């Protein structure tokens, strides 16, 4: 087994609220180096990738790697396919935004990059709100994936998937992020890819609720009028 004394970490960064908070959280743990990975999966809103690069720089990440995996190949997904409408929260259909094993593929790609850096500690910002819809955002899944990654790496070493927020609701994550000084004005959430944000899609509705529960006004702009 490789020594676990290595104090470097990789963070999977989407440019959204949760992963940005995760990046600041890892930084606060006193890691010697934090490296970020973002996935260019053919997302309709390319703004996510710009925000990821900017957030990495602002957090002082040692490197920022963009890995390309075109999920439009799998078809029929509203986050990548311009022909498919994004479901609204009121329709209760968040599950339709899933590409099979999307999260698993992203983590495995991050693990491959981490291995080339000699890093065994990965961080993923799944929150409790996610695993209602996404089975590959649950801790039981991460435990299984950790084992597969440890068994399948080029060397005999223990790979760790840290999921510091997996038992927290988004509201708690935002509270932590506000304490850590996460620049939420530079994060992107809207499923419609809009700036100002639409305020109506699932993602916007959840984001607004999380800020409101903390008694704080979200620093980003919305197309609709939001009461804080």
Residues that bind a copy of itself (CB under 8 A): 67-70, 73-76, 95, 98-105, 108-109, 111-113, 115-116, 135-136, 138, 140-141, 144-145, 147-156
Nearer to a copy of itself, 108 or 214 (CB): 108
Instruction: Please give the DSSP secondary-structure letter assigned to residue 156.
Output: S
Nearer to a copy of itself, 141 or 165 (CB): 141
Query: Least separation, in Å, of the C-beta of 211 and a copy of itself?
Result: 30
Nearer to a copy of itself, 9 or 198 (CB): 9
Residue closest to 44 by CA, chosen among 82, 97, 95: 82
Q: Which residues of 76-108 are buried (b: 16+ CB within 10 A; e: fewer)?
A: ebbbbeeeeebbbbeeeebeebbbeebbbbbbb
Nearer to a copy of itself, 64 or 113 (CB): 113
Query: Least separation, in Å, of the C-beta of 205 and a copy of itself?
Result: 22
CB-based contact 42:66 (threshold 8 Å) = no
CA gap 17, 224 in Å, rounded: 20
């Amino acid at each position: 087994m490789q020594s676990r004394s290595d104090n470097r970490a990789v963070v999977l960064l989407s440019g959204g609220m949760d992963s940005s908070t995760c990046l600041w959280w890892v930084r606060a743990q006193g890691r010697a180096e934090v490296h970020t990975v973002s996935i260019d999966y053919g997302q309709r809103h390319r703004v996510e990738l710009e925000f990821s690069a900017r957030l990495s720089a602002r957090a002082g990440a040692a490197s920022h790697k963009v890995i390309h995996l075109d999920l439009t190949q799998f078809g029929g997904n509203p986050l990548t396919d311009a022909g498919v409408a994004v479901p609204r929260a009121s329709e209760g259909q968040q599950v339709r935004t899933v590409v099979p094993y999307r999260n698993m593929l992203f983590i495995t790609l991050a693990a491959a990059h981490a291995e080339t850096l000699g890093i065994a500690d990965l961080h993923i910002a799944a929150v409790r709100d996610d695993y209602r819809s996404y089975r590959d955002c649950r801790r039981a899944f991460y435990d299984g994936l950790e084992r597969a990654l440890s068994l399948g790496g080029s060397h005999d070493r223990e790979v760790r998937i840290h999921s510091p927020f997996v038992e927290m609701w988004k509201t708690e994550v935002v509270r932590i992020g506000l304490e850590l000084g996460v620049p939420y004005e530079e994060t992107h959430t809207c499923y419609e890819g809009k700036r100002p944000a639409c305020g109506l899609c699932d993602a916007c509705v959840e984001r607004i609720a999380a800020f409101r529960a903390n008694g704080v006004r979200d620093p980003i702009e919305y197309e609709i009028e939001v009461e804080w």
